[in-house]
Chains A and B, each alone.
Chain A
Amino acid sequence: MIQISDLTFDYTGHRALNQLNLQVERGSVTALVGANGAGKTTLMRCIAGLETPLAGSITVAGLDVQEQPRTVHRQMGYLSDFFGLYQELTVAQCLEYAAASQGLAKDAIADAISTTAARLSLSDRLGQKASSLSRGLRQRVAIGQAIIHAPQVLLLDEPASGLDPEARNELAILFRQLQASGMTLLVSSHILAELEAYSSHMLVLRDGKILEHRALHQGLASKALQLRLASPNDKLIEILSAHPAINLSKADTLHAEFDFNGNSAEQARLLAELIQAGLAITSFGEQNLQQAYLRSIEGGKS
């Protein structure tokens, strides 16, 4: 859905994106993670056609962003990290303006407003002014403006910042619904636990380069697992290293992280084998996004 080739973007005295090559699958939700200044926002703005790169090309749904930015915009929704709303307009007016300015036909606008409002649980807020809404509701209105024209691609820069846990959960449910409807999402956030709830892929950026881009739930392919023992055991590393399906990445006498080649049944058998080998396991399972991210970063540093 999104194809990026040799993308380079410079700010004065600083290379923000360095020869990025990337392919984002249709219908995926890609978590875009990285430290501050890694290039996440610049990458999103380049994909959105809001910034002109130094070199390289970006195509969205087969359209070149630099050659046909306006056509690409019709296929795309974008929520910037510092989004704004027209404070003195009601929620309905905000959505109507977004729909009309995205070129929706006059007779389709009312339907689009009610569908979007229902999707974002804003139906009972349509008459309220944007200035009177809470942070979470404002965020929803901004997302509503970005999706009202049913784009194929949705770019969201820090969509959950400042939201309470309940609002974040609602956002995760919404993103899963959007993915289920066929939309491709690229979401950047510092809150990795939140991204984990709905992301299918992880893209790690560091100093303008791609450190890792992979699917998070890969079925039969390699899984990143971790285990923790009740008390230190000197044999932990030895036992794990001896297993043919395990590729150990980090371990000490109490805790281990490793890649495991096998399906869920084989994973269950592995657990049984490890317990049988005398390991007092207190936790065993797939690494969360936070651990996967830190592992990528550490791998990148080494």
Chain B
Amino acid sequence: MNPEFKRNLWLNFSLHRLIGMPAILGLIFLAVAMNGQANHVGSSAAMLFVGIVWLWGTKNAAAAIGDEQRDHTWDQQRMSALSPWAMTWGKLLGATLFNWYGGAICILVLLISDLAKDPINTLLKALSLIAMSLLLHGAALVMNLQLGQSDFAQNRRGSFNLLLAIPALFFMPSVFELSETPITWWDISFMPLQFQLLAGSFFAVCSIFAAWRLMQNALQVRTQPWAWPIFACLLTAFLAGFNHENLPMLGLIISSSMTYATLFSEPNSITIWQRIQQRIQAKNWHGALINLPLWPTTLILSFAFSLLATGAAPSELSSITTAPLSIALMLLRDSAVCVFLAFGPKRGVANSLLYLALINGLLPFLAHSSDLPSVAYLIMPINHPSSIASILISAIHALMAIALAFWRWQALQSAQR
């Protein structure tokens, strides 16, 4: 048996818990049935599943990494002979095993209660619940493995797990309210539950794959950064299924968002870049790539999408800006600002968030509020009426930020010599 799974089995199961879970669930279902709401036993089971497996299980999946780091057992695991895949599934299913035990009882009750009435929808609902659980648990592992590398303090990482409530809340209504309105995706019509099952399964596979990739890095099996930009493309293709009028612009928005996500969640200190420089100088391209942070990959992708979007036909999305290239250039500027701050002595992430909010939000807002549109366009050129001016000003912003980062890089390099 997978040692990590077995260890979780030891920790999660006792005779008391083994008996307690079905006893409590049984009493709840009995109470619902005796209250004259026998028809609601199935929906109660689905609701309990959401509570036990989606919410509690996601918390446990997140703790599967966080607790190891907090309790100083993570190094022992990183030095173990377990393969990254064995460690991933050992944690994914092991840490949530007790939740799955309760969830299995809920699914059984749901099937017994509703299968005869509406077999297809009941089966789809049960499978959707399971797929969404795997998606949430996988995403919890991903988030905690990723944040484990960042300079976020251990006690602050927990609050990021609340972000996982977003997909949970997005999918939750369709589990309880069966809509008959079909969903059209890439001109194919799906029933809502059917679509939820397919989408949930696809993203569950993506999240488990991402957890495995991050586990590989944690266990010293270093990977090259190709999966992150591919996921950006897949996510673009998925969302474009609902509206593919301007796919490149959608791709630009997604890859830009993913660049920001990794900019704030990856270490970006000067030591990382010195390591890359050393490997490039030694012509060790593989070594340079495995040390490269993920954000440059989606930054490059953003430029590719911006060039495609520049030539694309106008659409609702393209009304955001007159020049998609200026979005990519401003993203480059923000990346360079983050790198500049990460090279500094203080906490880079907190400073980056503060300064980016200032230059992207507060200063342009103040300029607009003061009836100084020309100043506002100088600070935030994305909405400039002239495409050429927008691109030029954005390019100047980007060059200035790159020069700042380069200046600090050189200053630190010479200080260390």
**What residues on B are CB-neighbors of A50 within 8 Å?**
75, 78-79
A103 touches B81 (CB 8 A): yes
- Of chain A, the residue at the smallest CB distance from B281 is A55
**What residues on B are CB-neighbors of A73 within 8 Å?**
79-81, 220
Q: Which of B3-11, B174-182, B223-231 contacts A (4 or more CB under 8 A)?
A: B3-11
- Interface presence of B353 (CB below 8 A): no
Q: Which of B43-51, B186-194, B203-211, B268-276 contacts A (4 or more CB under 8 A)?
A: B268-276
- Interface presence of A19 (CB below 8 A): no
- Interface presence of A34 (CB below 8 A): no
B72 touches A13 (CB 8 A): no
B122 CB → nearest A CB, Å? 38
**What residues on A are CB-neighbors of B72 within 8 Å?**
80, 82-84
B412 touches A13 (CB 8 A): yes
B275 touches A54 (CB 8 A): yes
- Interface presence of A88 (CB below 8 A): yes
- Interface presence of A284 (CB below 8 A): no
Q: How far is it, in angstroms, between the C-alpha of A32 and the C-alpha of B244 when the chains are bound? A: 63
Query: Contact string, A154-184, partner B, CB cutoff 8 A, digits 1/0?
Result: 0000000000000000000000000000000
Query: Contact string, B200-223, partner A, CB cutoff 8 A, digits 1/0?
Result: 000000000000000000011100
Band of interface residues on A: 20 to 34
Name which of B11, B79, B81 has the most chain A CB atoms within 10 A of its CB: B79
- Of chain B, the residue at the smallest CB distance from A88 is B11
B112 CB → nearest A CB, Å? 35
A198 CB → nearest B CB, Å? 24
- Interface presence of B39 (CB below 8 A): no
B288 CB → nearest A CB, Å? 12
Q: How far is it, in angstroms, between the C-alpha of A86 and the C-alpha of B10 when the chains are bound? A: 11
Interface positions of A from 46 to 87, Cβ below 8 Å from B: 48-50, 52, 54-55, 69-70, 73-74, 76, 78, 80, 82-87
Q: How far is it, in angstroms, between the C-alpha of A48 and the C-alpha of B74 when the chains are bound? A: 13
Q: How far is it, in angstroms, between the C-alpha of A69 and the C-alpha of B216 when the chains are bound? A: 12
B269 touches A89 (CB 8 A): no
**What residues on A are CB-neighbors of B412 within 8 Å?**
13
- Interface presence of A93 (CB below 8 A): yes
A54 touches B274 (CB 8 A): yes
Q: How far is it, in angstroms, between the C-alpha of A271 and the C-alpha of B220 when the chains are bound? A: 56
B274 touches A74 (CB 8 A): no
**What residues on B are CB-neighbors of A101 within 8 Å?**
3-4, 77, 80-82
- Interface presence of A108 (CB below 8 A): no
- Interface presence of A7 (CB below 8 A): no
Given contacts A10-B271, A80-B72, A85-B73, contact A102 B7 (CB under 8 A): no
B221 touches A86 (CB 8 A): no
Name which of B73, B76, B78, B271 has the most chain A CB atoms within 10 A of its CB: B76
Q: How far is it, in angstroms, between the C-alpha of A102 and the C-alpha of B83 when the chains are bound? A: 10
B10 touches A89 (CB 8 A): yes
**What residues on B are CB-neighbors of A103 within 8 Å?**
81-82
A70 touches B274 (CB 8 A): no
**What residues on B are CB-neighbors of A89 within 8 Å?**
7, 10-11
B81 CB → nearest A CB, Å? 4
B270 touches A12 (CB 8 A): yes
A268 CB → nearest B CB, Å? 48
- Of chain A, the residue at the smallest CB distance from B11 is A88
- Of chain A, the residue at the smallest CB distance from B269 is A12
- Interface presence of B278 (CB below 8 A): yes
B220 touches A69 (CB 8 A): yes
Query: Contact string, B6-19, partner A, CB cutoff 8 A, digits 1/0?
Result: 11001100000000
A97 touches B345 (CB 8 A): no
Q: How far is it, in angstroms, between the C-alpha of A103 and the C-alpha of B80 when the chains are bound? A: 8
Q: How far is it, in angstroms, between the C-alpha of A220 and the C-alpha of B345 when the chains are bound? A: 51
Cross-interface CB contact of A80 among B7, B11, B75, cutoff 8 Å: B75
- List 6 extra interface pairs beyond A73-B79, A76-B79, A101-B81, CB under 8 A: A12-B269, A50-B75, A69-B220, A74-B81, A98-B76, A103-B82
Binding site for A on B (CB under 8 A): 3-4, 6-7, 10-11, 71-73, 75-82, 219-221, 269-271, 274-275, 278, 291, 343, 345, 412, 415-416
- 4 closest pairs, A vs B, by CB? A84-B72, A103-B81, A100-B3, A69-B220
Binding site for B on A (CB under 8 A): 10-13, 15, 48-50, 52, 54-55, 69-70, 73-74, 76, 78, 80, 82-89, 93, 97-98, 100-103, 145
